[in-house]
Amino acid sequence: MFSSGHRFWFDHLSEAENRQLFDNWGSKYNHGHNYVLDVTVAGEVSPDTGMIVNIKDVDAVLKSRLMPQFAQKSINDEIPHFEKRTPSIENLLTYLWDEINEATLPSEVTLTQIKLEEFPSFYGEYDGMKTTITRTYEFAAAHRLHVPSLSDERNLELFGKCNNPAGHGHNYLLEVTVSGKLDEATGMICSINAVDEAVNREVVDRYDHKNFNCDLPEFDGKATTSEMIAQTIFQRLVNTVPATLERIRLHETSRSLFEVCKIS
């Protein structure tokens, strides 16, 4: 974890040009984040230690190479790499990846993925080839698990108390992950505001405080399982978000997660 400040603003551009590039994120003044960086490495388990690597050795690389650069620093002003580049999460990911590799991880492991969370509802991931960004949304909705073509007895057997005729509700958490080519000017895959607009229009505003069985025609005659809901959300977003939709993850409860991914 580290706290840093940054801004989306080019001094050589006018205020109107900066606003056009960065939407409401554009400001000549810094704002800050409590970043959370997850680093994933892979390797063979040593028969001597029972470990892939001593995690202290990985920590030492991160703390010695990254923390002095980022902790309590202004990214635009104090890291030369970002003097002429935006400190977008996409640009930060590739920079962090290179810094970790150049710092030389223990020889027995390979860096496979990093994840950088800017704030709880927005994070990015990078595996050395593909960059993705993920935005998180919430909505509350009700449903009854019931297959109309099956008997009441069979439905009760399948779904138990979730077959209650009065239904029940969830506070759903939706993660939407997109990828794409980085814009040279912004250093971003796409505008997060544009992603928000698409997801709110197609999913959040449509589903929030609704009953899947009664209020939404796309579920007529279908069992409103989270698998079906997740598939429907993916289908609604795949051609509407302003980038390539990689996956959606639908959290029904803290214990139940449903994922739909793009077919490679």
The residue from 110, 126, 142 where one domain ends is 126
Residues labelled as active-site residues: 162, 209, 252
88 pLDDT more than 90: yes
Same domain, 148 and 225: yes
Mean pLDDT of the chain, nearest integer: 96
Same domain, 120 and 150: no
**What share of the chain in percent tops pLDDT 70?**
100
Same domain, 183 and 255: yes
Per-residue model confidence as pLDDT tens digits over 206-220: 999 999 999 999 999
Same domain, 163 and 221: yes
The residue from 89, 106, 126 where one domain ends is 126
The residue from 100, 126, 152 where one domain ends is 126
Q: What is the per-residue pLDDT for 104?
A: 86
Q: How many domains does the chain have?
A: 2
Same domain, 231 and 158: yes
Please report which confidence band the pLDDT of residue 221 belongs to, taking 50, 70 and 90 as the band edges: confident
**What share of the chain in percent tops pLDDT 90?**
94
Rounded mean pLDDT, 101-112: 91
Q: What is the per-residue pLDDT for 151?
A: 95
Three-state SS for the chain is CEEEEECECCCCCCHHHHHHHHHHHECCCCEEEEEEEEEEEECCCCCCCCCCCCHHHHHHHHHHHCHHHHCCEEHHHHCHHHCCCCCCHHHHHHHHHHHHHHCCCCCCCEEEEEEEEEECCEEEEECCCCEEEEEEEEEEEEECCCCCCCCHHHHHHHHHHHHCCCCEEEEEEEEEEEECCCCCCCCCCCCHHHHHHHHHHHHHHHHCCEEHHHHCHHHCCCCCCHHHHHHHHHHHHCCCCCCEEEEEEEEEECCEEEEEECCC
Q: What is the CATH number of the domain that holds 190?
A: 3.30.479.10
Same domain, 105 and 62: yes
Q: What is the per-residue pLDDT for 68?
A: 96
Same domain, 139 and 235: yes
Same domain, 19 and 73: yes
Q: What is the per-residue pLDDT for 90?
A: 98
Determine the structural domain holding residue 36 and report its residue range.
2-126
Please report which confidence band the pLDDT of residue 24 belongs to, taking 50, 70 and 90 as the band edges: confident
Please report which confidence band the pLDDT of residue 138 belongs to, taking 50, 70 and 90 as the band edges: very high
Same domain, 143 and 178: yes
Same domain, 22 and 104: yes
171 pLDDT more than 80: yes
Same domain, 257 and 135: yes
Same domain, 67 and 158: no
264 pLDDT more than 80: no
